[in-house]
Structure 1
Amino acid sequence: MLRVAIALCTLARHSLADESWQDTPILTSLWQATSSKDNDAIDRLLDSSESAVSARSGDGRGLAWWAWEFQNEYVLASIMVNGGDVLSEDEDEAGKPAFHMCSDNSDCDKDSLLQKAKGLVEEVKKAKELRAAEREKEDFDDEDEEELGDDEF
């Protein structure tokens, strides 16, 4: 009886998660940027969407899975800076957490990759803050121009 209850709970958990798992253009872009180590694209995508760091595709994978799969320390650092947990036990459709993408790959050293990512966190955080300050300045400048109007020049 206990096994049946556990199986039902597991099934219910996966069913609820599956409802929010869907392939989207931003996830496709995140996969492409991660696999090609396009850090500028990663920055733009994560800056454009607060949910991008935790979004999951139809197979339950997302940015953390691809960061581990492609051994992309910059993306792992970006996940941490944006509030994600690169060592989360959350599972994909196959029942594997993201970091298993590295553990399952014989040429991936999980501890070394994580250490490199942690070493980038401050740099990524400072760059994110600079981009935010630039956007704020641009928004302020745009507001000033709108207040002046075209006929005042």
Structure 2
Amino acid sequence: MAIKTTKNLLLGLIVLLTILLFIQACKKNENENSGLLGTHILKKDVVKNVTENNQNVGLTATDFDITSCPPEITCISGGYSRVKIKFKDETSEQTLTLCLGTCTVFGNVVTLYGIKYKVKLEEVVLATSKVRILITKADS
């Protein structure tokens, strides 16, 4: 009787794991975005290729510059995170410097294939060398 129960439990476990495997394989990554508009997570110095209007654009995060207040020091400002984002289309390459915190950035608009896009830095994670940016169409 114990062998039959063990067989049934193992069979049930195999069926459950198979179902979970299929569910995981079909689930789209929540951070995966194949179009240019929307949120993108970029790993430092790794090109992410996206498509907008059937045209390819490469996105790359480079030059991470992160400052913060040392633990035992009282700072006037809280520091900043700055990163460069490179946009490469089939005709040109542009680089924007984006910033979070107490810093100044002079432009956050990039023109790709004649269309202007606004780029916003949302998060910088130094431990994993990743940034999260949001790309929207700029007001004309």
Q: Structure 2-normalised TM-score?
A: 0.24
Specify which structure has the higher proportion of helix: 1
Specify which structure has the higher proportion of strand: 2
